[in-house]
Homo-oligomer: A and B are copies of this chain.
Amino acid sequence: MVSIDEVARLAGVSTATVSRALSGRGQVSAPTRERVETAAKSLGYVVSSTASSLASGRTRNIGVIVPFLDRWFFSTVLSGIASALMRRGYDITLYSLTADGEQRRSVFADFLRRRRVDGVVAISIELGDEETERLRELDLPVIAIGGPNPRLTTLTVDDVAMARLATSHLLALGHRDIAHIGASPEFDIDFHIPTRRRQGFEQAMADAGVPAHPALFEPADFTIEGGFRAAQRLLGRPGARPTAIFVASDEMAIGAILAARELGIRVPDDLSVIGIDGHELGEFFRLTTVDQFPLRQGERAADAILAELESGAEAAPHHEPGRLPFELIVRGSTGALSA
């Protein structure tokens, strides 16, 4: 492997000058810089990240903590983070928090403390107090996407407002018997997003003076299949059927659409369905949704962490609640209430 000394020798300068020329820190005359760059290129020199990190204290590496890798939302956010970071020359090291509690603990107790990263992005994880504390102890910039955490800088989307927007859309179409598919209460213990979406739903209903019937709520597990079953229960009951369903995620909403089809209920003629997220399959299923642009969320998180790094200003945690954009995307799964 070629080292900085060889480049220095070839360019006829000291290693200090090579370092400065290639990193852009400190003064180097234009001709010298050019000689160094030529030498480096001809030798195929690439700086050793370990040596550079040790000497400088900068790693050019961001740690990303993800609860699941194989769920659409998280992998999409991750994808946004990865492309934005790589564009700026940063590496990213991945910390996946599987179901295994012991392993999760070791991420905070060991992995992250190896000084391998300059900053951390945590995607939609409800962090425990101790975990939050561990993160703060790292003394590194941390950006959390999702669950607002008063002790960390967070990028959040206003879940209540999103849910209100979705519900208002249904109300504006004339619907009154609106059901809601959300998460079961025990889910909420460490994952508050479904609760907030439910609150938004209830607020919008209350604002419109429409009573939200408790029987029109069904819990599910945020999968297509879960949404399917919840919708089956909702639509298969004797008595009056809801004319619309606000579903707390697109995947569950797709399940609901499939359930309706199976029951011979036409969407949107007999039933309107709206989801939340902006899932890639939404277009195919013609699903009306409130998009939260997860890819861009990842990019924004990457930009935010780089901004903190480059400003050097370890700004006090400033939450920006509800700052992430969202947008109603009307497709074919919602329609006016038929008389």
By a beta-carbon cutoff of 8 Å, the part of chain A in contact with chain B is 1, 44, 46-51, 53-54, 59, 61, 64, 68-70, 72, 75-76, 78-79, 82-83, 86-87, 89, 91-96, 98, 100, 103, 106-107, 110-111, 113-116, 139, 224-225, 228, 261, 280-281, 283-284
Partner of A69, one of B54, B75, B113, B281: B75
Contact B111 A91, beta carbon cutoff 8 Å: yes
Report how far A93 CA is from B82 CA in the complex, Å. 11
Given the known interface contacts A49-B115, A114-B49, A284-B224, the answer about A69 and B61 at a Cβ–Cβ threshold of 8 Å is no
Contact A96 B83, beta carbon cutoff 8 Å: yes
Given the known interface contacts A75-B69, A98-B83, the answer about A93 and B46 at a Cβ–Cβ threshold of 8 Å is no
Contact A115 B48, beta carbon cutoff 8 Å: yes
Shortest CB-to-CB span from A62 to chain B, Å, is 10
Contact A228 B284, beta carbon cutoff 8 Å: yes
Contact A96 B103, beta carbon cutoff 8 Å: no
> How many identical subunits does the complex contain?
2
Contact B86 A111, beta carbon cutoff 8 Å: yes
Identify the closest chain B residue to A93 (Cβ): B93
Identify the closest chain B residue to A51 (Cβ): B54
Identify the closest chain B residue to A73 (Cβ): B70
Partner of A78, one of B49, B54, B69: B69
Partner of A110, one of B46, B68, B116: B46
Contact A94 B92, beta carbon cutoff 8 Å: yes
Partner of A82, one of B1, B49, B69, B89: B69
List chain B residues, Cβ under 8 A from A110.
46, 89
Contact A93 B50, beta carbon cutoff 8 Å: no
List chain B residues, Cβ under 8 A from A78.
69-70
Partner of A94, one of B94, B224, B228, B283: B94
Known: A83-B103, A86-B95. 18 other contacts (CB 8 A): A44-B113, A48-B54, A49-B114, A49-B115, A50-B50, A50-B53, A50-B115, A64-B94, A68-B79, A69-B75, A70-B79, A82-B98, A83-B96, A83-B100, A86-B96, A86-B106, A87-B103, A91-B111
List chain B residues, Cβ under 8 A from A49.
114-116
Shortest CB-to-CB span from A138 to chain B, Å, is 9
Contact A92 B93, beta carbon cutoff 8 Å: yes
Contact A59 B50, beta carbon cutoff 8 Å: yes
Report how far A221 CA is from B110 CA in the complex, Å. 42
Identify the closest chain B residue to A90 (Cβ): B111
List chain B residues, Cβ under 8 A from A228.
284
Report how far A81 CA is from B47 CA in the complex, Å. 27
Shortest CB-to-CB span from A23 to chain B, Å, is 13
Report how far A47 CA is from B111 CA in the complex, Å. 10
Q: Give me 20 A-to-B residue pairs in the complex whose CB atoms sit less than 8 angstroms apart, sorted by A's number.
A: A49-B115, A49-B116, A50-B50, A61-B116, A69-B78, A69-B82, A70-B76, A70-B78, A70-B79, A82-B96, A82-B98, A86-B95, A86-B103, A86-B106, A87-B103, A92-B93, A92-B94, A225-B283, A225-B284, A261-B261
Contact B50 A116, beta carbon cutoff 8 Å: yes
